[in-house]
Amino acid sequence: MKDFSLLEKKLKINFENKDLLIQAFCHRSYLNENPDFRLRHNERLEFLGDAVLELVVTDYLYRKYPDKTEGDLTSWRAALVNSVSLADLAKELGFNGFLLLSQGEAKDQSKARQYILANTFEAFVGSLYMDQGYEACKKFIESSLIVRKLPIILEKKLFKDAKSLFQEKAQEIVNITPGYSVLKESGPDHLKHFIMGVFLGKEMVAKGEGGSKQEAEVQAAKKALELKKWLD
């Protein structure tokens, strides 16, 4: 068993109920290989933590930015609590080293790990809420998530979806509205795969892939922003 006291020291949080902390890191796959493990998986805690996280972030943004519209605050909140942001933060906090996973999941470092880390962050918030209440969660979320991530999100306009941001930058910098085109389409109707290109005039800037045209376009726009260095 992993030494969760090391994580408590790192986070400067001491759990009264250590099992709640451990359960937050227990993925369903771990129980498949360890059916006699005394704790349940973390999905109920994730469900709870998701609600607590959204409330803390909403309350903070509402109070901190009284002149911003509902639309602005919604976009900022979405950027703060999306899976990419939470997974990145979970890595920064060292959560990866404490995950309880099956041997197969432990070896998999693909996109699936990102979702596991994001879900574990939410489960951790749920466990902290059950152990120490709302104020402890508020302190943790504001210090770890909002203070670290919000300035970057606002500075780089990460609250805007990639397609909107690329279009805004393209019109501002080169006075061209981007266009998208299907480069390749494959797979049966229920499992389509698209490769889309994003163009500035006749110049293809980047390609993106996904299970729908929309998803592939978003990926292409993200790559285009990076290639053009328009995120700085």
For 163-218, the pLDDT digits (tens) are: 888 998 999 999 999 999 999 999 888 788 999 999 999 999 999 998 889 889 98
Pairwise CA distance, residues 174 & 79, whole Å: 27
Q: Are 129 and 53 in contact (CB under 8 A)?
A: no
Instruction: Describe the crossing of helices 70-81 and 43-64 by its angle, rounded to 10 degrees.
Output: 140
Residue 179: which CATH number?
A: 3.30.160.20
- Say yes or no to pLDDT of 157 above 80: no
Q: What is the pLDDT of residue 225?
A: 92
Domain-terminating residue out of 110, 138, 155:
155
Closest CA to 6 of 97, 92, 86, 87: 97
Rounded CA separation 178/203 (Å): 10
Residue 74 in contact with residue 154, Cβ under 8 Å? no
pLDDT (mean) for 15-19: 98
Which residues are catalytically annotated?
Answer: 50, 122
Residue 26 lies in a domain: yes
Output the pLDDT for position 232: 62
Confidence (pLDDT) at 204: 97
Residues 136 and 179 in one domain: no
167 and 206 share one domain: yes
Residue 232 lies in a domain: no
Domain presence at residue 98:
yes
The pLDDT assigned to 109 comes to: 73
The pTM assigned to this predicted structure is 0.74
pLDDT tens for 44-102 read 999 999 999 999 999 999 999 999 999 889 889 988 998 888 999 999 999 999 999 99
Q: What residues make up the domain containing 9?
A: 4-155
